Chain A
Amino acid sequence: MGALRLHPARIAGLSPRAVSHAWSVFDIQLALYALALVIIGLLMAFTNSGDAPLETGSVFTRALMWMAIAIIVFTLAAAFDYRWSSTFSWLIYLVNIGLLVLTLVIGSGVGGVSRWVSIGPLQLQFSEMAKVFMALVLAAWVAGRPAKVESLSTIIGAVLLTAPPLALVLIQPDLGTSLVLGAILVGTLFMAGASIRWLVAGGVLVVALIPLVWTYVLQDYQKQRLISFLDPAADPSGSGFQLLQSQIAVSSGGVFGRGLTNGTTGAEYLPVQTTDFVFARVGEELGFLGGILVLVLFTLLLWRVLVIGWRCRDPFGLAFAGGVAGMLLFQLMVNAGMVLGVMPITGIPLPFITHGGASLISTALALGLLESIAMRQGRAGG
């Protein structure tokens, strides 16, 4: 592939007829499932806002604002012809690297920690954007090599493309997001049809490298969290505290939950309820049924993502859908798994539901682009 191949430039695509045609094939299911998840996130924001959820600046009002922005981003991304992103994939790649370098250089926090770039009141977390950008870039890479997609060179190329941003995120340090980038890489390659044999070999290699990573890459606090995951009861009021507390919180919800806002606002169980552990709050207030609802919605959403990729009959679209699905599935698995005590604490947000704009906007962008793919598939795959 190359930046100079400007194939999908179509003035006709902007004609009223074409636009209305495109919106008629808009994948309404994808949007509905996503919306349902966002609403559950909003409910959680409401219940976490304490006594005055409607006051300016509360968790809830900020979540409302971010939802509005996310809807705009989603709509714009859907209207945008995704094929341009393939055309400009190198540019996107360089911008992505640039933003991550910028985060390290001027990011907030001194020495060792810099995850945000503050512009006025906004804190921009470019590593969240990096996920979507990498899904685009990797999809463009594999789609550009249709004849060689099964060869080892495709995998090596994709790994080499992923390595710089992954390293930049890792040294922020943000282990969670760098793992998500790895999941996007695997999802993209898998759906694009890369060799399973080489993928497995790569996986074995990564596992073999874990001791090295443990010794030279991981920070002490990250090691501590991994250790506490392996045996949370060893020191229940220490590192394992949060792990066990979140399980207790979930458990207290029972089948039907304690009811919205009836959760333990005095932080009876969970010291950190508003951030990455929000799924514990879902379990506590909405019970087993609420938790299952979230899982079902994620399943349906992932189904739609894969279906869009499959139906679009474009190797780029298929690969991109694979990347996005990999991203969402991995984040769900790690975040919910962490809350339920079956995964280590890594600080990965739960898409749609964890409060905080960066994660929601990047997810909206990814889904918007998928809509764009769905809308431009024509009827060929229908």
Chain B
Amino acid sequence: MSVNDDRPLLDPGASAVSPRQLWRRFILFGFAVVLVVTGLGLRLFQLQVTDAERYTALAVQRRQRTVSLPVTRGLIFDRRGRQLVENVPEFVVRITPGAIPFTLRDAVAERLGELLEIRPVEIHRTLDSVTGSTFDPITLKTDIPERVARIIAEEHLGLPGVTVEVTSRRKYPYGPLVSHVLGWTGRVSAEEMDRHEGEGYLPEDTIGKAGVELTFERELRGTYGVDEVQRDATGRVMNVLRTLEEPRAGDSIQLTIDLKLQREAQRALQWGMRLARLQRGVFLVMNPQNGEILAMVSLPAYDNNEFARGISSARYRRLARDPHRPLINLAISEQLPPGSTYKLVTGIGALQDRKITPRTRLRTKRFITVAGTKMFDWHLTGWGPINIYGGFAHSSDTFFYQVALKLGIDRLAYWAHEFGFGRKTGVDLPNETVGTVPTHAWKRQLFSQNIYPGETAQAGIGQGFDMVTPLQLISAYGALANGGTLYRPQIVRRIVDEKGKTVRSIKPEVARKLPIDSSLLRVMRVAARNVLVVRHTYNFVDVPLVISGKSGTAEYGVRDSKGRLPFHSWFVGWVPKDPKRKAGDPNGFKAAGGTDSELVFLAFAYDSRTRGNAATEIAKYFLQLHYGIQRDYRNPELMIKDNFYGQ
């Protein structure tokens, strides 16, 4: 086909569509244009002319809003006023998804990712995953170096919707030393938001997550103020219209913990754990006269500063999956077999129930036969006929099998409950567990059968189904030491306001007066002194203090190839108010019989398998440190792994 200027390009003959049809299309399209434009014009008319007033009113209403004014969180001190937590300023980058133009999102994400060392995808994901209002800023990263914070602040024009704020976060100067007691604070979760609805928590707020930071959240947090403000379209506050609620700073709390004792306890426990290659341990110190916990060490511990700074999920997973469970406070959250320390309950129960008297002698031997089963003593021969003083001091298993059988499982459980086992102590720390006190009813519910006599005998020496927490055990011995008053253990003494004025003192709380004759309690105290005097605990008696107490070896788990069971070691004991030995009381029985003790202590060594009782050595070292005893009575050779067991 030749080409020239005047050639009619549209050749109707070649097309299947007639010009008439095309004309109709042309008109139809024009009609569509008019329709769209008319529609838009009418809407414009509606907005700007007929409904203008309504929208103006809406605009005013939308620009008023209430905002919360966060206040400083209260501090935490030890009983001598040492500061255990600080509030330190921290730069935080926050982003308001709704304030970023869609076309700038990529650029903002890229630049911000570069500055904060986050992958831009993560930023997009954060922006897209907003569930609440897109005009509520969300925290992108905390703990920003000042240099980066400054750059972001300078580049604010290129980073719309991005702000740098100074907030405060917790710093725990003693870290792992008191982390199980203090706990930590973190970002409030959706679940916590629901639980604390109406208490003024903000979406990005900080909340206590563990320890006293959690149990005393309400006191530490204070009351956020509420202002009604006028804001611009970006949500920026322009001016305050009125204050609806005055802010009130959080109160501080003073713990019962004495940092000096805490250090001594930690040092003693760490020494023992290192020497005996132990993975877990507990050391507790308490004042039996009021239930105040003076030291609470649970190892392994974690550094709560890691949490306060915002722990990475990978690091958190590692801590949570650690087989030795550093995040768990073993003193209150772990149930453990008490072993021979439980013989206190069996002995005193039988005495009070008049099943035995302090003079009743029972024959101890290699084993006794219970319902056709041989039940062995830890000692190869036994000690012949002995009374409660000897039975407790030598920790004779066959003695206490017989006592437990005289008492029966349900009476044993009754006395265990009286001492606070099988129920929460009520300490002001979270995640306390109750342990197990076996009864017929308990076993029927679980296994549809009664307790066998053999199991009763086992329960009498703190084995079998018995499970306790270290805090329950020290409280029970505290009740023995003070003459029969079981206190609720407490970790906070008082709450003080900003100016140091006491807002509330937390008074000692009596959980129960034990229905036991004071003379019988005295029998058990003397028996506990006898434990040391008969040298059941090696040379512990040589330490120049009147120490009374009970060691325990608690088997658990499964037998190894040689038929041996792994075991934990316990020692729980006390010293009188004046712990020095007196000339007129060579064995200390007189002092041990008193009820003026102000220091009860407990050492626990998880899976010790040492030649001697590792807990006893740890307790000994603590007393040496605490009372400044220069001579060293420790027996490192007892800390050798040897799978010693018995007693």
Decide if B43 touches A342 in the complex (CB within 8 Å): yes
| Contact of A332 with B by CB under 8 A | yes
| Contact of B124 with A by CB under 8 A | yes
Which of A264, A291, A314, A317 meets B48, CB within 8 Å? A291
Contact status of A250 and B101, CB under 8 A, knowing A108-B110, A238-B132, A315-B15? no
Q: How far is the CA of A269 from the CA of B45 in the complex (A)?
A: 19
| Contact of B445 with A by CB under 8 A | no
Q: How far is the CA of A191 from the CA of B22 in the complex (A)?
A: 7
Contact residues in B for A341 (Cβ distance below 8 Å):
43, 47
Contact residues in A for B314 (Cβ distance below 8 Å):
none
Decide if B110 touches A109 in the complex (CB within 8 Å): yes
Using a CB-CB cutoff of 8 Å, which residues 302-317 of chain A contact chain B?
302-303, 306, 309-310, 312-315, 317
Using a CB-CB cutoff of 8 Å, which residues 264-279 of chain A contact chain B?
264, 266-272, 274-276
Residue on A with the closest CB to B133? A238
Q: How far is the CA of A292 from the CA of B46 in the complex (A)?
A: 12
Contact status of A109 and B109, CB under 8 A, knowing A271-B98, A274-B101? yes
Using a CB-CB cutoff of 8 Å, which residues 97-133 of chain A contact chain B?
108-116
Q: How would residues 5 to 39 of chain B score, 1 for a CB under 8 Å from any chain A CB and 0 otherwise?
A: 11011110011110001110110111011101101
| Contact of A299 with B by CB under 8 A | yes
Contact residues in B for A112 (Cβ distance below 8 Å):
121, 124
Decide if B41 touches A292 in the complex (CB within 8 Å): yes
Contact status of A255 and B9, CB under 8 A, knowing A268-B232, A342-B43? no
| Contact of A357 with B by CB under 8 A | no
| Contact of A221 with B by CB under 8 A | yes
| Contact of A182 with B by CB under 8 A | no
Q: How far is the CA of A272 from the CA of B45 in the complex (A)?
A: 23
B-binding segment of A202-210, A239-247, A361-369? A239-247
Q: How far is the CA of A241 from the CA of B21 in the complex (A)?
A: 46
Most chain B beta-carbon neighbours within 10 Å: one of A151, A192, A315: A315
Most chain B beta-carbon neighbours within 10 Å: one of A116, A237, A288: A237
Q: How far is the CA of A329 from the CA of B235 in the complex (A)?
A: 34
Contact status of A109 and B120, CB under 8 A, knowing A7-B1, A238-B135? yes
| Contact of A340 with B by CB under 8 A | yes
Q: How far is the CA of A167 from the CA of B124 in the complex (A)?
A: 21
Contact residues in A for B6 (Cβ distance below 8 Å):
378, 380
Using a CB-CB cutoff of 8 Å, which residues 215-273 of chain B contact chain A?
232-235
| Contact of B127 with A by CB under 8 A | yes
Q: How far is the CA of A245 from the CA of B37 in the complex (A)?
A: 22
| Contact of B62 with A by CB under 8 A | yes
Q: How far is the CA of A265 from the CA of B27 in the complex (A)?
A: 43
Decide if A283 touches B47 in the complex (CB within 8 Å): yes
Decide if A337 touches B233 in the complex (CB within 8 Å): no
Of the four ranges (under 10, 10 to 19, 20 to 34, 35 or more), the interface on chain B belongs to 35 or more
Decide if A251 touches B55 in the complex (CB within 8 Å): yes
Residue on B with the closest CB to A275? B101
| Contact of B214 with A by CB under 8 A | no
Contact residues in A for B106 (Cβ distance below 8 Å):
108-109, 113-116
Q: How far is the CA of A313 from the CA of B12 in the complex (A)?
A: 9
Q: How far is the CA of A150 from the CA of B16 in the complex (A)?
A: 7
Which of B9, B43, B100, B103 meets A356, CB within 8 Å? B103
Q: How far is the CA of A176 from the CA of B428 in the complex (A)?
A: 58
Task: Write the nearest CB–CB distance from B317 to chain A, whole angstroms.
Answer: 24
Contact residues in B for A8 (Cβ distance below 8 Å):
3
Residue on A with the closest CB to B38? A295
| Contact of B128 with A by CB under 8 A | yes
| Contact of B440 with A by CB under 8 A | no
| Contact of B561 with A by CB under 8 A | no
- Tell me the total A-B contact number using a CB cutoff of 8 A: 224
Decide if B40 touches A267 in the complex (CB within 8 Å): no
| Contact of B51 with A by CB under 8 A | yes
| Contact of A318 with B by CB under 8 A | yes
Task: Write the nearest CB–CB distance from B12 to chain A, whole angstroms.
Answer: 9
Residue on A with the closest CB to B44? A291
Using a CB-CB cutoff of 8 Å, which residues 51-103 of chain B contact chain A?
51-52, 55-56, 58-59, 62-63, 65, 98-103
| Contact of B134 with A by CB under 8 A | yes
Task: Write the nearest CB–CB distance from A275 to chain B, whole angstroms.
Answer: 4
Residue on A with the closest CB to B40? A336
Decide if A245 touches B233 in the complex (CB within 8 Å): yes
Contact residues in A for B65 (Cβ distance below 8 Å):
237
Task: Write the nearest CB–CB distance from B513 to chain A, whole angstroms.
Answer: 59
Which of A241, A268, A306, A377 meets B134, CB within 8 Å? A241
Q: How far is the CA of A342 from the CA of B100 in the complex (A)?
A: 22
Q: How would residues 366 to 405 of chain B score, 1 for a CB under 8 Å from any chain A CB and 0 otherwise?
A: 0000000000000000000000000000000000000000
Q: How far is the CA of A271 from the CA of B104 in the complex (A)?
A: 13
| Contact of B49 with A by CB under 8 A | yes
Using a CB-CB cutoff of 8 Å, which residues 206-251 of chain A contact chain B?
219-221, 235-239, 241-242, 244-245, 247-248, 250-251
Residue on A with the closest CB to B1? A7
Q: How far is the CA of A275 from the CA of B100 in the complex (A)?
A: 11
Task: Write the nearest CB–CB distance from A378 to chain B, whole angstroms.
Answer: 6
Task: Write the nearest CB–CB distance from B460 to chain A, whole angstroms.
Answer: 63
Contact residues in B for A271 (Cβ distance below 8 Å):
98-99, 135, 233-235
Q: How far is the CA of A270 from the CA of B29 in the complex (A)?
A: 34
Most chain A beta-carbon neighbours within 10 Å: one of B6, B45, B134: B134
Decide if A288 touches B44 in the complex (CB within 8 Å): yes
Contact status of A113 and B14, CB under 8 A, knowing A191-B29, A250-B48, A251-B48? no
| Contact of A147 with B by CB under 8 A | yes
| Contact of A85 with B by CB under 8 A | no
Which of A241, A254, A274 meets B135, CB within 8 Å? A241
Q: How far is the CA of A269 from the CA of B1 in the complex (A)?
A: 63
Decide if A149 touches B15 in the complex (CB within 8 Å): yes
Decide if A221 touches B58 in the complex (CB within 8 Å): no
Decide if B30 touches A298 in the complex (CB within 8 Å): no
| Contact of A333 with B by CB under 8 A | yes
Contact status of A193 and B25, CB under 8 A, knowing A10-B3, A241-B135, A252-B55? yes
Q: A247-B47, A295-B37 given. 5 additional CB < 8 A pairs?
A: A190-B29, A220-B128, A271-B233, A283-B44, A322-B29
14 sampled A-B residue pairs with Cβ under 8 A: A111-B119, A190-B29, A193-B21, A248-B62, A252-B59, A266-B232, A267-B233, A272-B99, A302-B33, A313-B9, A317-B9, A318-B22, A340-B44, A347-B102
Q: Give A contacts to B, CB under 8 Å.
A: 7-8, 10, 12, 18, 108-116, 146-151, 187, 190-193, 219-221, 235-239, 241-242, 244-245, 247-248, 250-255, 264, 266-272, 274-276, 283, 287-288, 291-292, 295-296, 298-299, 302-303, 306, 309-310, 312-315, 317-318, 322, 325, 329, 332-333, 336-337, 340-342, 347, 356, 377-378, 380
Q: Give B contacts to A, CB under 8 Å.
A: 1, 3, 5-6, 8-11, 14-17, 21-23, 25-26, 28-30, 32-34, 36-37, 39-41, 43-45, 47-49, 51-52, 55-56, 58-59, 62-63, 65, 98-107, 109-110, 113, 119-121, 124, 127-129, 132-135, 160, 232-235
